[in-house]
Amino acid sequence: MESSETAGSKGGVLPLLIGCGVLVFLLVTGEALLQDSDIFWQIETGRWILAHGAVPTADLFSFTKAGAPWLSSSWLAQVIFALAMQAGWAGPVIVTALAAAAAFALFAAYLERHASALLTTALTLLAVALTVPHLLARPHVLALPLLVAWFIGLIDAADRKAAPRWPLLIVIALWANIHGGFGLGLVLIGPTALEALRQAAPAQRLFLALRWAAFGVAALVACCATPYGWNTLIAASKILSLGEVLTTVAEWSPPDFGRFGPFEASILALFGVALWRGLTLPWPRLLLVLGLLHMALGHIRSVETFALLVPIVLARPWAEQLAPRSVAPPVARSEFALPGWAVATAAVTIIAATVAVAPRLNYRFVATQIPEQALAAAQQHGAKRILNAYEFGGYLISRHVPVFIDGRAELYGEAMVMDMFRAAAGRDAGALDRLVDNYNVDATLLPAQQPIVGLMDRRPGWRRLHADDIAVVHVRDGL
């Protein structure tokens, strides 16, 4: 590794190559991005916004919560996906791939300041391996480059012993319109400010603390620069009130260490290298690493944050310890470095070429979340109030069918979502009774392999109408 004082300007070639590599990989494996039916309701919300010139303030899609207050914390991402969908599924795939590629290019550009090209590439590949399982055509991926850019801006300010530059507020304002995860960006201000104060001279700390405090307040205000204003903060926090749901939904559940995988390998490597080389961290950075690790151990959803932010936290102090300033030779600018305008031109050319090939890319959404035949059978039989599985909600919304439930767990609440999960697992017939009776359901549309199908087969007053490899439909006897 190279110290921050000796690492020269690298010209952006390596980050550009890494970004291009990630882009190509994601385009080749594009159908892997189309594995979550939430994208259907994201697109439909974007279309509604474009058609009405406004953002939704109440539920648009269900019969169980019709008209209930609901704010879309990802409204801008939804508009982007809706516009991209004009090119078919290739559109959302390309948008998602470009966002992920930009995030990893920014990540590599920062690491390259402090590490060799080989180590930068290796760490980026590890970050990609940890992040790929959660790369889906959904708003959180569009926010990844904003997450990386925001944190780099904060950590750079700390290393300069200064407050962040004011234009950085544009990043978090955009983030607040793209995805509700911007709250993490606000949280990161605190420990990064402590690192800045630690590095600053004692006489400068009071003034610097006031500047960081002012920036924090300004960042909070910037997060409200959305169509919802201050309500943006409330909407983003609702996911935290879901209680048991956060341990049940796959993306919010803890990682499974039953089998050895990249995440466990990265944790062991982190501690192994630190112990082997005797590496240390200033206490504010140590708090950051421990906090990010705690989040990743609590929720799979946070593994990508761990993968992208921890190397940035470690880069400078570990580089300085591995290559002390007193013995490190100066590193000249790479003879292969390109001027900034050339790198920018190459990036724009790559993006334009990617968009140009969109009509030639043919992607299909995962079939197991598209119960087309089953829905047709239920509709032909006159079903109006269909109790659908959680994963089928997005598809039904795309067909303009009022849904029982979908991926907007914060709208339906902990009790209803947990009743649905327990019933689907076949563990709680009482939960199924509540769902069917309280909402006057006249048909069910359920995955063929879920235990709840057996409960419905044995339920008095109901009969099986349709079954295929994807879904099973039950209707009331009198329907």
DSSP label at 34? -
- Residue 68 covered by a domain: no
**Statement: residue 347 has pLDDT above 90:** no
- Residue 373 covered by a domain: yes
109, 313 contact by CB (below 8 A): no
pLDDT for the residue numbered 338:
58
**Statement: residue 336 has pLDDT above 80:** no
Alpha-carbon radius of gyration of the chain? 25
Provide the greatest CA pair distance for the chain: 86
In angstroms, what CA-CA distances link 373 with 274, 370, 473?
56, 9, 10
**Domain stops at, among 327, 356, 385:** 356
**Statement: residue 137 has pLDDT above 90:** yes
114, 1 contact by CB (below 8 A): yes
| 3 state DSSP class of 447 | strand
Strand partners, 449: none
Structure-model confidence comparison of residues 333 and 48, the more confident one: 48
What's the pLDDT band for 337 if we cut at 50, 70, 90?
Answer: low
**How many domains does the chain contain in total?**
2
pTM of the model: 0.90
d(CA 142, CA 251): 17
Strand partners, 387: 444
- Residue 347 covered by a domain: yes
56, 48 contact by CB (below 8 A): yes
For 363-419, how does the pLDDT look when each residue is reduced to its tens digit (9 = 90+)? 999 999 999 999 999 999 999 999 999 999 999 999 999 999 998 988 998 889 888
**Domain stops at, among 330, 356, 382:** 356
> Which residue is it, tokens 């992607």?
363
Residues 326 and 383 reside in one and the same domain: no
Residues 204 and 148 reside in one and the same domain: yes
Residues 6+ apart with CB under 8 A from 39: 81, 92, 136, 137, 138, 394
Residues 375 and 258 reside in one and the same domain: no
Residues 341 and 400 reside in one and the same domain: no
By C-alpha distance, which of 99, 105, 146, 149 is closest to 127?
Answer: 105
What's the pLDDT band for 95 if we cut at 50, 70, 90?
Answer: very high
Residues 6+ apart with CB under 8 A from 170: 222
d(CA 191, CA 176): 21
Residues 418 and 295 reside in one and the same domain: no
Give the pLDDT mean for 338-356.
71
Give the pLDDT mean for 198-215.
96
Residue 410 structural domain: 367-476
d(CA 429, CA 404): 18
Residues 144 and 211 reside in one and the same domain: yes
